[in-house]
Structure 1
Amino acid sequence: MRRNFIQQLEGSSITLAQAKALKYVARQQGVRQVELADKLEVQPMTLARLIDQLEQQQLVERRPDPSDRRAYLIYLTEHADEHLKEIELAGNKVIEHALGDLSQQQADEFKHALQIIRNTLLNKE
């Protein structure tokens, strides 16, 4: 699925890692940079470079964390909207392709089973 998603993003100005970061920040505006690194399972220095790239493209901005002067909070800019739509479209195409040979009932059952597995794993941590 990852390879297919990358193919869908071909010609885009963003990478898979940048797309993942943008989607997470879109879900949780004002996420602390260190928390974002943890969620994306990358080293803080790797994330810092990634955020630098997104800032250069004017897709995100760092703001000082009022509760910790050493920390930064990450916010999307209005320029990110177009990229988020592109990411959403690419993701939908990948899912549509992956589930293409399943009936609607099979696809629904599969999605439900994945949700149960996800919830089970989240509750075990």
Structure 2
Amino acid sequence: MNPNTFGFAMTDLTRLMRNLFKKRFKDQALTMAQARALYYIARFEGIRQVELADMLEIKPISLVRIIDLLMEAELIERRPDPKDRRAYQLYPSPTAQPILDEILRVIQSIQQDALAGLSENEIATLSAAFQKMRNNLTSL
């Protein structure tokens, strides 16, 4: 088996970036799982818990504790879903903004480090290729 396959490189890159995020975000009160959930809630305001669990690749029951902790910290709000009275939608609270700013700062610093030495043209090509790949796989 060739360890230099594209998939292996992508997986390794993702692992390295996640580890670096944990290292740079360690002084915050949130765990990596909580930070990821909060970031996705802010990015997809109004997302339902089942959809969020799917995006985070965890079971909905595992997400409940994360959501409860984020609510206890007053970082998110649950609101009734107007389309389904049994469901709730998730929104970031106004008090979440400083933490979201810090998450974004850490993400941007990691991205800057990962792209060091690449030209603007190489970065644009890489971004376009990733977008095409995402589109290809999303349509399957």
After TM superposition, give the deviation of residue 17 of structure 1 in Å: 1.3
Q: Secondary structure at the match of 1:79?
A: helix
Structure 1 stretches of 4+ moved >4 Å:
none
More RCO (CA 8 Å, sep 6+): 1
Query: Is 1:38 the equivalent of 2:54?
Result: yes
Greater CA drift, 79-88 or 64-73: 64-73
Say whether 1:120 aligns with 2:136.
Answer: yes
Specify the alignment match of 2:3 in structure 1: none
Secondary structure (helix, strand or coil) at the match of 1:8 reads: helix
Q: CA deviation at 1:101?
A: 2.2
In structure 1, stretches of 5+ residues that fail to align are: none
Question: Percent identity, aligned pairs only?
Answer: 44
CA deviations 1:43-70 (Å, max 9, x no partner) are: 1111000001101110001123344333
TM-score normalised according to structure 2 size = 0.81
Q: Could you say what the CA RMSD is over the residues aligned between the two structures, in angstroms?
A: 1.4
> Which among 69, 75, 82 is matched to residue 53 of structure 1?
69
User: What TM-score do you get using the length of structure 1 for normalisation?
Assistant: 0.90
* Bigger shift: residues 85-94 or 60-69: 60-69
Which of 27, 34, 37 does residue 11 from structure 1 map onto?
27
